[in-house]
Amino acid sequence: MTMNRRERHGLILRLIREQPISTQTELSQALRAAGHAVVQTTVSRDIHELGLVKVRDADGRLVYAPSGTVDLDRLRELAGALRRLMVSCEASGNLVLVTTPSGFAQPLSEAIDRSGHPLILGTVAGENTILVVAREGVSGAELCTDLKAHLLEGAA
């Protein structure tokens, strides 16, 4: 069956939501199983046009996901960095001020930015202080509570 690009893109997005797909070959096979034969170059172009990224799923497998999808590995790394380096967290408006031991604000800020945390727009770091900006519609208090929750992960 022939389908246009928009229909194919919609099908691809549905397929990656419904099942873990790690490779272009797996995506081609899933499209064929749905009744749509495609060549590898088309699949490659579709992945690029859709802006798909690879993230780790709950089983630790790298799978395709829409851009902006939370990567569980990066959030686990952030949780570990927060446990090791965050001394305090205070909120004001849509901002959060995180303090660290002297010299550790930059590495923690980098971990926050790399995490792709869904509530965080970005950070600015000094020597022992990080200004964390919450996304639109998220209060600093909500974000601070979320960051503090990571301090308890893994604690017995």
Domain ranges of the chain: 5-65, 72-152
Containing H/E element for 56?
Answer: strand 53-56
4 in Cβ contact with 46 (< 8 Å): no
Fold type of domain 5-65: Arc Repressor Mutant, subunit A (1.10.10)
In the 8-state DSSP scheme, what is residue 88? Answer: E
Amino acid found at 66:
P
* pLDDT score of 123: 96
Residues 6+ apart with CB under 8 A from 18: none
pTM above 0.95, yes or no: no
Provide the 3-class DSSP secondary structure of residue 73.
helix
Domain 72-152 class, CATH top level:
alpha beta
129 in Cβ contact with 87 (< 8 Å): no
Mean pLDDT of the region 26-38: 92
What six digits make up the tokens of 34?
């749905």
Mean pLDDT of the region 64-76: 72
Q: Which residue has the higher pLDDT, 120 or 74?
A: 120
CB atoms within 10 A of CB 102: 8
Average pLDDT, the chain: 88
